[in-house]
């Protein structure tokens, strides 16, 4: 049984300023511990779904390093109100962290929260229906709004599909209005920013915001490839393009696995700073992801193979091999995108997250 984490941040015999002083005094060593934990967790194997666990934990770790003590406290206080906090967070915490300092626990917990929407895919039927939202992780490439003015779909041997004009963000007022990664961010950020909303609902929204800001930075969640014959209904964001025993989407999802040098660089580069007044525009982030699809994701070699197979009447595209240069560029792009996701999470949290009301730590059931 883990000790209540908030008790470490707010010991009854010490005022909050003492806790802040402790963080200031020992910040370097605590950040080093968090870094070691983050790298260790990023090397764990995991199933592919959106960015995999490595990617989502990395963006959460980057965000945490930009945030001040008070905002970290607010995130922890809120996360502890999650309706599945015991079984999906406390019970899953690695044994070496159970009695670890709270700073190390917070790094792991926030990473778990960022990955939690993918964990929800594996719940039993009733819990999966309650918490899993498959359509929230990606978007139709023909969907346009605000800064996303250009389609994300790539068309081979066929004309573009009609554009889909999305509803304004202000019109997304309930869960039933959210049907893609942009509108899901509209909805979940609205819930998370509302300090009068149910605490458990806000905690679930926190997980989704952590997750979706990561997802929208993954290029293959912003559109698909369509061709006249082979991919008449789309390649499902690269899922239908075989790469060895895997597929293009999964290869990109897992780009940061084993890339510990790039991960360390991202974490070392992130340090607390005042992010006040910076705006958040997820349609701009979507537009950025779409710009990467060509020429970096669907590069000349892939497009040439698709055009050739589509024109020849082949029943399927042969399995493709990615060059070393392709893989190196993919890792570089994934690192940049996840670093931006972490920074943008921190910006949103600092500017939009309401101050937490004092809440006693919830004891494990």
Of 353 and 15, the one with more pLDDT: 353
Cβ neighbours for 308, distance < 8 A, ≥ 6 positions apart: none
Name residues whose C-beta falls within 8 Å of residue 36's C-beta, 6 or more positions apart in sequence: none
Quick one: which H or E segment has residue 155? strand 154-156
Q: How far is CA 179 from the centre of its chain?
A: 17
Looking at per-residue pLDDT, the higher value among 10 and 74 belongs to 74
The residue count for the chain: 365
pLDDT in tens, 204-253: 999 999 999 999 999 999 999 999 999 999 999 999 999 999 999 999 99
Calculated CA dihedral for residues 117, 119, 123, 129, nearest 10 degrees: 10
Would you state the pLDDT for residue 87?
Answer: 97
* Mean pLDDT of the region 28-52: 46
Q: What is the mean predicted confidence (pLDDT) over 306-326?
A: 97
- Give CA–CA dist 49/117, Å, rounded: 10
- Band (pLDDT 50/70/90 cuts) for residue 356 is low
Instruction: Decide if pLDDT at 101 tops 80.
Output: yes
- Higher-confidence residue of 107 and 17: namely 107
- Mean pLDDT of all residues in 250-271: 94
* Predicted local distance difference test score (pLDDT) of residue 357: 54
Among the ranges given (30-39, 156-165, 247-256), the one the predictor scored with the smallest mean pLDDT: 30-39
Count the helix, strand and coil residues of the chain and give each as a percent rounded to the nearest 5: 60, 5, 40
pLDDT value of position 48: 43
Q: How confident is the model at residue 2 (pLDDT cuts 50, 70, 90)?
A: very low
- pLDDT attached to residue 38: 42
Angle between helices 102-119 and 69-79 (to 10 degrees): 50
Q: pLDDT averaged over the chain?
A: 87
Which has more pLDDT, 104 or 189?
Answer: 189
Q: Is the pLDDT of residue 161 over 90?
A: yes
Query: Residue 129: how many CB atoms within 10 A of its CB?
Result: 10
Please check the confidence at residue 42 and state whether its pLDDT lies above 60. Answer: no
Q: In the predicted model, is pLDDT for residue 23 greater than 60?
A: no
DSSP 177: G
Contact call for residues 296 and 333 (beta carbons, < 8 A): yes
All structural domains of the chain, each given as residue ranges with its CATH number in brackets, are: 1-359 (1.10.575.10)
- In this predicted structure, the answer to whether residue 17 has a pLDDT above a threshold of 80 is no
Predicted confidence band at 55 (pLDDT cuts at 50, 70, 90)? Answer: very high
């Amino acid at each position: 049984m883990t000790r209540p984490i908030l008790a470490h941040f707010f010991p009854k015999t010490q005022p909050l300023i003492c806790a802040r002083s402790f963080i200031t005094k020992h910040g370097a060593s605590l950040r080093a511990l968090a870094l070691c934990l983050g790298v260790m967790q990023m090397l764990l194997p995991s199933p592919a779904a959106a960015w995999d666990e490595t990617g989502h934990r990395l963006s959460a770790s980057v965000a945490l390093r930009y945030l001040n003590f008070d905002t970290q406290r607010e995130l922890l206080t809120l996360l502890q109100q999650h309706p599945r906090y015991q079984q999906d967070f406390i019970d899953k915490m690695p044994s070496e962290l159970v009695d670890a300092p709270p700073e190390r626990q917070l790094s792991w917990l926030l990473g778990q929260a960022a990955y939690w929407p993918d964990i929800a895919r594996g719940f039993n039927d009733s819990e999966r229906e309650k918490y899993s939202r498959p359509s929230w992780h990606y978007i139709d490439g023909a969907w346009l709004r605000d800064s996303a003015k250009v389609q994300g779909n790539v068309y081979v041997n066929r004309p573009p599909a009609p554009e889909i004009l999305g509803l304004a963000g202000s019109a997304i007022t309930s869960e039933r209005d959210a049907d893609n990664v942009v509108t899901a961010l509209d909805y979940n950020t609205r819930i998370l920013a509302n300090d009068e909303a149910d605490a458990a609902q806000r905690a679930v929204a926190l997980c989704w915001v952590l997750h979706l800001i990561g997802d929208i930075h993954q290029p293959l969640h912003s559109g698909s490839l369509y061709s006249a014959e082979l991919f008449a209904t789309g390649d499902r964001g690269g899922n239908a393009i075989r790469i060895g025993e895997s597929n293009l989407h999964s290869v990109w999802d897992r780009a940061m696995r084993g890339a510990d040098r790039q991960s360390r660089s991202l974490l070392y580069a992130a340090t607390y700073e005042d992010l006040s007044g910076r705006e958040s525009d997820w349609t701009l982030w979507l537009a950025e992801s779409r710009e990467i699809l060509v020429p970096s994701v669907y590069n000349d070699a892939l497009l040439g193979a698709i055009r050739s197979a589509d024109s020849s009447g082949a029943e399927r595209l042969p399995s493709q091999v990615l060059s070393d240069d392709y893989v190196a560029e993919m890792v570089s792009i994934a690192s940049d995108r996840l670093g931006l996701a972490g920074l943008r999470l921190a910006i949103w949290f600092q500017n939009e997250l309401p101050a937490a009301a004092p809440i006693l730590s919830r004891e494990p059931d």
